[in-house]
Structure 1
Amino acid sequence: MLAPAFNTGVQDKRARFREIYCAVLEAHGPTLPDFRPCEDALTRVGTEPAGTGAPVVLGQSTRHLIAAVVPGIGYDCFKPWLNAPGTVTKQLRQSGYDGLLLDVDGLSSSTHNAHQIRDAVMKMPLPHGPPRLVLIGYSKGAADVLEAVVAYPEIRSRVAAVVSAAGAVGGSPLANDAQQYQADLLRYFPGATCNSGDGGAVQSLRPATRQAWMAHNPLPGELRYYSLVTFPQPQRVSSILKSSYDKLSQVDARNDSQLIFYDQLVPGSTLLGYVNADHWALAVPIARTHTTIGSLFVTQNAYPREALTEAILRFLEEDLATTSER
């Protein structure tokens, strides 16, 4: 059964996030890669609340949040080929934040990867003061993160917030027709050093698996959860993703080529916004390092990810401070 976001306890703060994101984009302008005007960077869906009008602080961060990104299915297989430029972390450090990638098995189940997240978090030095680590789960990485915070309570005091970024919270109907052996083909990607892991990646993405897990695993109430949803205008879907976009549209046209928009919402979370980008454009900068492939296949891969990530952390820093004062 489908329900509006507010019926799952989601708090709508799109208006404030838009104010912060627009301010970041305006401040940095075309100096950052893949610049877009704010109105083209976010999708307006339904009736969006009015902005707060409060000033946006763009100085150095005082809390120094660290974005720890957990990638999606198969990322460790094509990571060497992608050769991402690392410009997001560079931009964050200029504003007093930081960023890193948490390595998980690209072809393993969310349960397996949750333990890897636990180990990585526990190995990190624990700074004085309030926690600074923001776990950002992209695609299947969101399911991995949610399983980690449920299964391993020892990491919760180290985590400031959890963010689903185009997260497969409710799974994807596309996974119902997929088999693990198809995902395993990523092991033969140029330069790939990944292995099959426990072979549970596709199963973890099936809606029945994710919904059953959510039904039996209440999320810890002491953590704050946020959802950033990819909801592209049809013309913002890359040509190579059109077929999966159309296939998923048979279930619901409001999708990003891999996930339907409501399957990206963490129950009880704060909704940051709807991003006008397809699933890959949000977090996988293919066109920046492979221009020919970008011009022919991932034709809508350009997106201002540096500004977006900074805006997420600035919003969280403000929101967490407001929440702690209550």
Structure 2
Amino acid sequence: MMSSRTRDARARRLVGSNNSSLAIAACLLLCGCATKPLVPYSTDTPALALVPAVQAQVQDKRGRFREIYCAVLQDRQHGTPDYRPCEDALTRVGTEPAGTGMPVRLGQSERRLLAAVVAGIGYECFESWLQAPGTVTQIVRRSGYDATFLRVDALSSSANNARQIRDAIMAMPPEAGPPRLVLIGYSKGAPDILEAVVSYPEIRSRVAAVVSAAGAIGGSPLANEAEQYQADLLRHFPGATCASGDGGGVNSLRPAVRKAWLEQHPLPRELRYYSLATFPHPDRISSILMPSYNKLARIDARNDSQVIFYDQLIPGSVLLGYVNADHWALAVPIARTHTTIGSLFTTQNAYPREALMEALLRFIEEDMTTPAR
């Protein structure tokens, strides 16, 4: 076994003082170097079946979401960072339903939905280094929406973070009228949110919807060969204030853990669930993420470098679409604030996240006018 002193020394050597080394160290979190099977032999698993989404009670509304997203992109193209044409922003997978032909309303929000984002593993560790510009919040506010972060431990388990999500929601002043809080879980943030709404029924009346955005709903096989001490490398980022927490972050991402949790914990039926998955073309994977993409491709090449596309859907949710972006490009704007790293490592990090968030909130607001199943 490696001692904690040896691990810390190795971390300091890996991280160093160079920003390029920092990006590489971050990638080590789930990339790994071992050659053992990503899904090891084990009989400790619930019975599983890989079936079409409709048989998992997923409603396919990609056609309408595409209409809304395309309309937002077209209308905002001159003010949207990292603009892409709509056909390049979304991936058509299989037979995508046709659009409805209904007009897209681009005026001020009537429901004033509030997007509360729970980030993925390690985010708190490099948040100050990232220096995210905050343009998503600024732009959605122009349309009457709002956005915020719900802080959770960077390296703790989903059970630990679920309690923090519960406390943050209960600390919000209660509002009259229908709920307007949209919980958006990115990567590990998605299972953190699901554990919160299952474990703490007192928050459900305050939640309008739950969204998986490249969420690790079914876990990631990359976590099977990762260890928590690798995640702890992120504590050595310059300016990092994150702690090891309860040490359960990596374990919470293992497929056996996630699928067993789903089997044992039915989701509350009174809530609305939505899934926005990442399904990038291989040339949309940043160079630094290619090792983990190739590793996952030993199971399925239809992955975003961290999660396979079918492991991102919440059972019984509404499928919004498949985003043509890798795992980091969906939510972490590295290239905007660190241009050198962007040109060398996060080479496909540009994506119109602001337009995507606006389209997501507009779709949910419109969808809420129809009865839930």
TM-score bracket for this pair, using the shorter chain length: over 0.9
SS at match of 1:69: strand
Task: Please tell me whether Structure 1 or Structure 2 has the larger radius of gyration of its CA atoms.
Answer: 2
* 2:324 paired with 1:276: yes
SS at match of 1:310: helix
CA RMSD of aligned residues (A): 0.8
CA drift of 1:32 comes to 1.2
CA distance in 1, matches of 2:98, 2:128: 43
Structure 2 counterparts to residues 169-318 of structure 1, below 5 A: 169-318=217-366
Q: Percent identity?
A: 75
CA drift of 1:125 comes to 1.4
Q: Give the counterpart letter for 1:29 in structure 2.
A: Q
Provide, for residues 269-309 of structure 1, a one-character-per-residue CA deviation record: whole Å limited to 9, x for no partner. Answer: 00000000000000000000000000000000000000000
* 2:364 paired with 1:323: no
CA drift of 1:3 comes to 1.2
CA distance in 2, matches of 1:164, 1:249: 22
* 2:91 paired with 1:91: no
Which region of structure 1 is more displaced relative to structure 2, 126-135 or 12-21?
Answer: 126-135
User: Please, which of 21, 36, 46 is the counterpart of residue 84 of structure 2?
Assistant: 36
Q: Give the counterpart letter for 1:293 in structure 2.
A: I
Provide, for residues 222-261 of structure 1, a one-character-per-residue CA deviation record: whole Å limited to 9, x for no partner. Answer: 0000000000001000000001000000001110000000
Q: Give the counterpart letter for 1:232 in structure 2.
A: P
SS at match of 1:219: coil
Provide, for residues 162-210 of structure 1, a one-character-per-residue CA deviation record: whole Å limited to 9, x for no partner. Answer: 0000000000000000000000010001110000000000000000000
Task: Report the count of equivalent residues.
Answer: 325
- Residue matched to 1:78: 126
CA distance in 2, matches of 1:146, 1:129: 24
CA distance in 2, matches of 1:80, 1:146: 27
CA distance in 1, matches of 2:371, 2:365: 10
Provide, for residues 41-94 of structure 1, a one-character-per-residue CA deviation record: whole Å limited to 9, x for no partner. Answer: 000000011110000000000000000000000000000000100000000110
Structure 2 counterparts to residues 101-180 of structure 1, below 5 A: 101-180=149-228
CA distance in 2, matches of 1:31, 1:181: 42
SS at match of 1:251: coil
User: Please, which of 39, 42, 56 is the counterpart of residue 104 of structure 2?
Assistant: 56
CA drift of 1:30 comes to 2.8
SS at match of 2:347: coil
Task: List 4+ stretches of structure 1 deviating above 3 A.
Answer: none
CA drift of 1:323 comes to 2.3
Identify unmatched segments of 5+ residues in structure 1: none
Q: Give the counterpart letter for 1:295 in structure 2.
A: S
CA distance in 2, matches of 1:124, 1:96: 19
CA drift of 1:322 comes to 1.7
CA distance in 2, matches of 1:245, 1:4: 23
CA distance in 2, matches of 1:298, 1:30: 24
CA distance in 1, matches of 2:369, 2:147: 20
CA distance in 2, matches of 1:127, 1:290: 39
Using the size of structure 2 for normalisation, the TM-score is 0.86
CA distance in 1, matches of 2:361, 2:193: 18
CA drift of 1:101 comes to 0.4
SS at match of 2:320: strand
- Residue matched to 1:23: 71
SS at match of 1:272: strand
SS at match of 2:55: helix
Identify unmatched segments of 5+ residues in structure 2: 1-48
- Residue matched to 1:5: 53
CA distance in 1, matches of 2:96, 2:345: 33
CA drift of 1:21 comes to 0.2
SS at match of 1:201: coil
- Residue matched to 2:15: none
SS at match of 2:368: helix
Q: Give the counterpart letter for 1:169 in structure 2.
A: I
CA distance in 2, matches of 1:323, 1:300: 39
